[in-house]
């Protein structure tokens, strides 16, 4: 499975539509919710999910490794109404919670832009490896007037040291991929000639652990994160959704569209 902009592919400009990267949020999250619970099945083809397999059940191949990418917000997308925003919020929460809670090893291959929700998906995985290359990573929600859903901020808190989480969330900058290890986004950056081989070797190593032992240890590590996600009230969710429609938030996105030469 090759990522958009992987080997020999042209990478789209940040914020501009690529159908493989800017998947419809509702559809992508619904697919995620259906796919995650039965992770012995092959991963969603062409998808944006996870690696989850066991050595005694599946021989690791790249068909079982999902490539988690995202070129950031699609500034061409039509405005959502309130009902659509609530649906997206619910699907986002359910899909990401299912991914981070999966009681099996999950591994992210990061080989292209991982921005905003794309980066949160990377961080939802237990183990993360990145490809050396010319692409960007970051959490630019604040810069474009978006609130972090409770699920997203809890995943960020789970995976990153507080100082690095603050730098990414509050600084809202985009960084070259060379900064991904320093920021804690990936465990290692690898050259192209060793990337896939290393991913599969690490995946096989994780998959060889006893199922029950891995699941028990993982549950202990993420239990408090899941509790905080589950404790979100409807009022708190509504407050996060409302940030997107605030005048200053709309103005920030209008400036971004102007900067990118995008007309609506």
Better-scored residue on pLDDT, 54 or 76? 76
Can you give the pLDDT at residue 259? 81
Can you give the pLDDT at residue 110? 94
Can you give the pLDDT at residue 30? 39
Q: What angle do CA 214, 98, 130 make, to 5 degrees?
A: 70
Quick: pLDDT tens for 17-41.
Answer: 443 444 444 434 433 444 444 444 4
Quick: pLDDT tens for 139-154.
Answer: 999 999 999 999 999 9
Better-scored residue on pLDDT, 141 or 8? 141
Q: What angle do CA 26, 21, 130 make, to 5 degrees?
A: 120
pLDDT of residue 91 exceeding 60: yes
Q: Of 77-86, 103-112, 113-122, 226-235, which range is least confident?
A: 77-86
Q: What angle do CA 176, 179, 262 make, to 5 degrees?
A: 25
Q: Is 235 exposed, middle or buried (0-12, 13-18, 19+ CB in 10 A)?
A: exposed
- pLDDT category at 79 given cuts 50, 70, 90 is low
CATH superfamily for 25-194+211-260 is: 2-enoyl-CoA Hydratase; Chain A, domain 1 (3.90.226.10)
pTM, two decimal places: 0.76
Residues paired with 175 in a beta bridge: 137
Can you give the pLDDT at residue 264? 63
Mean pLDDT within 171-188: 97
Per-chain mean pLDDT for the chain: 77
Can you give the pLDDT at residue 135? 94
**How far apart are the C-alpha atoms of 87 and 235, rounded to whole Å?**
15
**How far apart are the C-alpha atoms of 180 and 189, rounded to whole Å?**
8
What is the 3 state secondary structure string of the chain? CCCCCCCCCCCCCCCCCCCCCCCCHHHHHHHHHHHHHHCCCCCCCCCCCCCCCCCCCCCCCHHHCCECCEECCCCCCCCCCHHHHHHHHHHHHHHHHHHHHCCCCCEEEECCCEECHHHHHHHCCCEEEEECCCCEEECCCHHHCCCCCHHHHHHHHHHCCHHHHHHHHHHCCEEEHHHHHHHCCCCEEECHHHHHHHHHHHHHHHHCCCHHHHHHHHHHHHHHHHHHHHCCCHHHHHHHHHHCCCHHHHHHHHHHHHHHCCCC
């Amino acid at each position: 499975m090759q990522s958009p902009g992987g080997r020999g592919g042209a990478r789209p400009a940040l914020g501009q539509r690529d159908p493989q990267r800017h998947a419809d949020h509702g559809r992508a999250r619904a697919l995620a919710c259906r796919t995650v619970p039965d992770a012995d099945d092959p991963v969603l083809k062409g998808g944006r999910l996870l690696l989850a397999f066991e050595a005694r059940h599946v021989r690791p191949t790249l068909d079982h490794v999902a490539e988690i990418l995202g070129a950031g917000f699609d500034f061409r997308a039509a405005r959502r109404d309130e009902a659509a925003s609530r649906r997206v919020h619910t699907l986002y929460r359910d899909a990401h919670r299912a991914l981070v809670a999966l009681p099996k090893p999950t591994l992210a291959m990061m080989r292209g832009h991982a921005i905003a929700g794309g980066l949160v998906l990377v961080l939802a995985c237990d183990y993360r490896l990145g490809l050396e290359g010319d692409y960007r990573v970051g959490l630019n929600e604040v810069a474009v007037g978006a609130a972090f859903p409770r699920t997203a901020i809890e995943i960020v808190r789970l995976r990153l040291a507080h100082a690095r989480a603050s730098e990414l969330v509050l600084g809202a900058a985009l960084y070259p991929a060379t900064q991904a290890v320093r920021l804690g986004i990936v465990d290692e950056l690898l050259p192209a000639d060793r990337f896939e081989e290393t991913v599969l070797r690490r995946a096989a190593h994780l998959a060889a652990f006893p199922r029950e032992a891995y699941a028990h240890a993982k549950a202990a590590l993420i239990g408090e994160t899941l509790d905080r996600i589950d404790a979100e009230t409807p009022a708190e969710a509504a407050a996060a959704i409302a940030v997107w429609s605030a005048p200053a938030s709309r103005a920030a996105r209008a400036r971004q569209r102007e900067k990118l030469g995008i007309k609506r």
